[in-house]
Amino acid sequence: MRTIETERLILRAWTPEDASEMFEYAKSPLVGPAAGWEPHQTIEDSKAYLKQAIEEDETWAVTLKPEGRVIGSVGLHLTRVDTVRELGYVLHPDFWRKGIMTEAAKAVIDFGFSELQLDAIRVFHKVNNARSRRVVQKCGFRYDGTIRCSSKGPDGSLIDRCTYTIARKEWEEGLQESRFCGFVQNRACEYFPCHKTNDPDHFNCLFCYCPLYRMKNCGGNPTFLPNGIKDCSSCTVPHFRYDHILAKLMERTDE
The b/e string for 13-49 (b: 16+ C-beta within 10 A; e otherwise) is ebeeebbebbbbbbbbeebbebeeeebbeebebbbeb
Give the domain-ending residue among 176, 197, 228.
176
The mean pLDDT of 138-159, rounded to a whole number, is 86
Q: Does 203 lie in the same domain as 169?
A: no
Does a cis peptide bond (omega within 30 degrees of 0) precede residue 33?
no
Q: Are residues 29 and 84 in the same domain?
A: yes
Give residue 203's pLDDT: 45
Query: What average pLDDT does the structure give for the chain?
Result: 83
How many separate domains does the chain show? 2
Q: Say yes or no: 50 and 101 in one domain.
A: yes
Q: Is 207 helix (H, G, I), strand (E, B) or coil?
A: helix
Q: Which residue, 146, 176, 206, sits at the end of a domain?
A: 176
In this structure, are 38 and 60 located in the same domain?
A: yes
Lowest mean pLDDT among 150-154, 205-209, 244-248: 205-209
Mean pLDDT of 88-94: 96
At residue 111, does pLDDT exceed 50? yes
Same domain for 45 and 162, yes or no, is yes
Look at residue 254 in the predicted model and tell me its pLDDT: 43
pLDDT category of residue 234 using cuts at 50, 70 and 90? low
Residue 42's domain spans which residues? 4-176
The reply to whether 27 and 54 lie within a common domain is yes
Mean pLDDT of 188-193: 48
At residue 185, the pLDDT reads: 45
CA separation for the pair 63, 9 (Å, rounded):
6
